Amino acid sequence: MEALPREFYLRDARKVARDLLGKLLVRRTEQGILMAAITEVEAYLGVEDPACHSYGDRRTPRTQTMYGLGGRAYIYLIYGMHHLLNAVTGEEGDPCAVLIRAGNPAGDRELLAQNRYGKPYHELSKAQLGSFCDGPGKLAKAFGLTTEQNGWDLCDSPLFIAEGEKKKIQIATGPRIGVDYAGEAAAWPLNYRLVEE
């Protein structure tokens, strides 16, 4: 598996978001390889987007990673308990990103299960299997991601995104989740998700 090239990320966040659906999120660790097929994402459009951390050009220690060249991991903590993974997009100085909201576990699921639930995959209940990585905090936990990996290069690090299974996909769009504070921008159709066939 090879990481997607830098050029993939040096585009408009909306295009990157749509093209991330179906791709494989991968993390190589000493314990094994973690993988999930990306099923839901959201685009955040930088300084002009009231829902984006960099809205109004708020350049802070937290948002600094977003101002770098596309292809970096922007990982932050919300509510003091959930880490969220984003892929920075665009050119340096244009702080846009795509939030990886959900994925379907792939490959060896044992390490994912240990990270997410602290027990073997075969011991997971039906409810646990159903909500394995169906939210951004859950996905990051399954991958063992924290702010320690913030800024990692998705094109050259143990955390990367690779081509997934080549197949035709259907994409649904809608408003982003949990951004009611953003006024009219809360209704922008920047949530993209795979439609189950």
Buried b (16+ CB within 10 A) or exposed e, 32-54: eebbbbbbbbbbbbbbebebbbb
As given in the structure block, the two tokens for residue 80 are 């003091």
Tally: H helices and E strands in the chain = 5, 8
Domain at 124, CATH number: 3.10.300.10
Residue 142 lies in a domain: yes
pTM for the full predicted model: 0.95
Average pLDDT over residues 113-138: 94
Residue 1 placed within a domain: no
- Decide if pLDDT at 127 tops 80: yes
**Does 35 map to a domain?**
yes
Total domain count for the chain?
A: 1
Q: What is the pLDDT of residues 130-174, one digit of tens each?
A: 899 999 999 999 999 999 999 999 999 999 999 988 788 899 999
Q: Are 101 and 40 within 8 A, CB to CB?
A: yes
Residue 115 in domain: yes
Mean pLDDT calculated for residue range 184-189: 97
Tell me how far CA of residue 94 lies from CA of 18, 97, 107, 191, in angstroms. Answer: 19, 9, 35, 20
What is the pLDDT at residue 197?
Answer: 61
Reported as a pLDDT band with limits 50, 70 and 90, residue 176 is very high
Summarize pLDDT for 146-157 with one digit per residue, the tens.
Answer: 999 999 999 999
Mean pLDDT within 109-128: 94
Alpha helices in the chain (DSSP H): 6-9, 13-20, 110-117, 126-130, 136-142
**Does 155 reside within a domain?**
yes
pLDDT in tens, 4-52: 999 999 999 999 999 999 999 999 999 999 999 999 999 999 999 999 9
Assess whether pLDDT exceeds 90 at residue 196. Answer: no
Taking only the tens place, the pLDDT of each residue in 53-104 is 999 999 999 999 999 999 999 999 988 889 999 999 999 999 999 999 999 9
What's the pLDDT at 168? Answer: 83
Residues in the chain: 197
Domain of 14 in residue numbering reads as 6-192
